[in-house]
């Protein structure tokens, strides 16, 4: 599903070069649930953004679902993302002027799903917020907003679900519920899940943990 070979990412700002990834080799199988952990600044988000085709590596190869994504044009990358990848963000990134169902529909509409509204409704119901379809983000709790964020990531039924600290703004019970949603999606729909978390206890709910430090994989652990 994911093969990363000798991956480097260097950012340049004001003439200063920041080496965020320094040669990452990683394979993630289809249907695996992997957590990525490590200190702040170790390169976790950078890695996830490259896997999620939101950013490009400086050097090395990233094969996602068999595609060498660096070789795609910007337009091809957008449609590749819509078809293959769902991304869940820490701060939900919902549009405040759209209600739950409209926020969830966006990727479906971009992906030309004629039935986007119904699909969105189904996914929201599956995630237990079918009673909040017309609520705007400010009318939802943090946990509910994140479930809308997850619904939006799921609406195109992607093979790959990526989440960057999706529970960082939630209390521990709600956080556990959210990770259980990922666990269930992974088990029932065989979606490959890559989750960044700071919480060891949540990270252990994955099949395997990858520990990053200074832009390299320091260790891996099977759970």
Ligand X SMILES: Nc1ncnc2c1ncn2[C@@H]1O[C@H](COP(=O)(O)OP(=O)(O)OP(=O)(O)O)[C@@H](O)[C@H]1O
Interaction site with ligand X (CB under 6 A): 11, 13, 18, 20, 38, 40-46
Residue with tokens 């819509």: 82
Count, in order, helices (H) and strands (E) of the chain.
Answer: 7, 10
186 scored as a contact of Mg ion (CB under 5 A): no
What's the min distance (Å) between Cβ of 162 and Mg ion? 12
Q: Which does 40 bind (CB under 5 to 8 A by kind): ligand X, Mg ion, none?
A: ligand X
Nearer to ligand X, 55 or 159 (CB): 55
Supply angle C-alpha 15, 20, 21, rounded to 5: 130
Q: Quick one: CA torsion of 169, 173, 85, 49, rounded to 10 degrees?
A: 40
CA distances in angstroms from 112 to 66, 116, 140, listed in the order given: 24, 8, 28
Nearer to Mg ion, 144 or 164 (CB): 164
104 scored as a contact of Mg ion (CB under 5 A): no
Nearer to ligand X, 110 or 168 (CB): 168
What's the min distance (Å) between Cβ of 219 and ligand X? 15
Mark residues 26-65: x for contact with Mg ion by CB under 5 A, - for none: -------------------x--------------------
Three-state SS at 217:
strand
CA quadruple 108, 110, 115, 117: dihedral positive or negative?
positive
Nearer to Mg ion, 119 or 197 (CB): 197
């Amino acid at each position: 599903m994911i093969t990363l070979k000798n991956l480097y990412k260097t950012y340049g700002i004001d003439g200063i070069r920041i080496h965020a990834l320094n040669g990452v080799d990683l394979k993630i199988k289809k249907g695996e649930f992997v957590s990525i952990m490590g200190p702040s600044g170790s390169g976790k988000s950078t890695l996830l953004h490259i896997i999620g085709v939101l950013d490009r590596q400086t050097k090395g190869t990233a094969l996602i679902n068999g595609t060498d994504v660096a070789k795609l044009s910007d337009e091809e990358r957008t449609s590749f993302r819509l078809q293959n990848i769902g991304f869940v963000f820490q701060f939900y990134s919902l549009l405040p002027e759209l209600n739950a169902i409209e926020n969830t529909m966006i990727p479906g509409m971009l992906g030309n799903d004629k039935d986007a509204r119904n699909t969105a409704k189904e996914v929201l119901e599956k995630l237990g917020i079918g009673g909040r379809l017309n609520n705007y983000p400010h009318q939802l709790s943090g946990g509910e907003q994140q479930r809308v964020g997850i619904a939006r990531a799921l609406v195109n039924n992607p093979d790959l679900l990526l989440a960057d600290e999706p529970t960082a703004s939630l209390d521990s019970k709600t956080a556990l519920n959210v990770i259980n949603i990922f666990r269930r999606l992974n088990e029932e729909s065989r979606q490959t899940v890559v989750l960044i978390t700071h919480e060891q206890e949540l990270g252990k709910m994955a099949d395997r943990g990858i520990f990053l430090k200074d832009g390299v994989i320091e260790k891996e652990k099977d759970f």
